[in-house]
Amino acid sequence: MSRERILAALRSQELPEEPLPKLDQRWNSGRAQRRTRFAAALEAAGGRCVRVSNRAELARKLKGLPEFANAKRRASVVPHLGDPNVSLGELDDPRRLAQVDYALLPGQFGVAENGGVWIDATDYLHRAVLFLPEHLGLVVKTADLVNHMHDAYKRIRFDGPGFGCLIAGPSKTADIEQALVIGAHGARSLTVFLKDAD
């Protein structure tokens, strides 16, 4: 009985028609606008966007993050960054990645439409590094931002068997008691470093 009343109330609502966006137009006029849109979408998803001009500034900003500064166990797939003290190549059991406090990984590109970052993890020994660490940092070049998912799909390539993942914000779920829970199924925080140059 309640179900029918709820459905009837929903059906009686008159919603204004919203025109769909045209996908053949340029959504953004340039790199600066893509960067702004990406940062806004990422932050709306619960992540943090940190713009850096080069590798040296990235290292300084990374050390200033509380999640990184307080991390006892760190892993990194980004060469010469992240002060790793956990070697991913030496872990015999991927479940031990749950003990990693902070992981720093490279992203292939970011999507301005939704704040997502594509990670090609084909060569990772343990793909669980994308999901089990407490906090996650991703490094993406500003030049590698695309407008929307249509552009993103054009960039994804696997020459053989592979594995990739689009990550947009920290892990979250709202299906438990209708309360938003951050970090329930993955990282509790996500920071994307947008790097202008090497």
Q: In this predicted model, what pLDDT tens digit does every residue of 62-105 receive, in sequence order? A: 999 999 999 999 989 899 888 888 887 777 787 877 888 999 99
The pTM for the full model equals: 0.81
Greater pLDDT, 65 or 10: 65
Please say if the pLDDT value at position 12 is more than 90: no
Nearest CA-CA partner of 88 in 74, 107, 75: 75
Rounded to a whole number of angstroms, the CA Rg of the chain reads 19
Domain carrying residue 53: 27-195
Residue 7 lies in a domain: no
Residue 175 lies in a domain: yes
Token pair recorded at residue 151: 């552009």
Residue range 179-195, pLDDT digits in tens: 777 777 778 899 999 99
Is 12 among the domain residues? no
Here the tokens at position 15 are: 């919603």
Who contacts 4 (Cβ-Cβ below 8 Å, separation ≥6)?
none
CA separation for the pair 67, 87 (Å, rounded): 19
Bridge partners (DSSP) listed for residue 167? 117
Q: E-strand spans in the chain?
A: 48-52, 74-76, 102-106, 109-111, 116-120, 135-141, 145-146, 164-167, 172-176, 179-182, 189-195
DSSP E strand boundaries for 65-127: 74-76, 102-106, 109-111, 116-120
| Structure tokens given for 70 | 């307080």
Q: Which two tokens stand for residue 112?
A: 């301005």
Sign for the CA dihedral angle at 8, 13, 19, 23 comes to: negative
Where residue 178 sits, what CATH number does that domain have? 3.40.50.10420
Number of structural domains found in the chain: 1
Percent with pLDDT over 90 in the chain:
47
Share of the chain above pLDDT 70, in %: 95
CA angle 129, 108, 79 (to 5 degrees): 60
Whole-number pLDDT of residue 24: 66
Domain for residue 15, yes or no? Answer: no
Average pLDDT over residues 39-64: 94
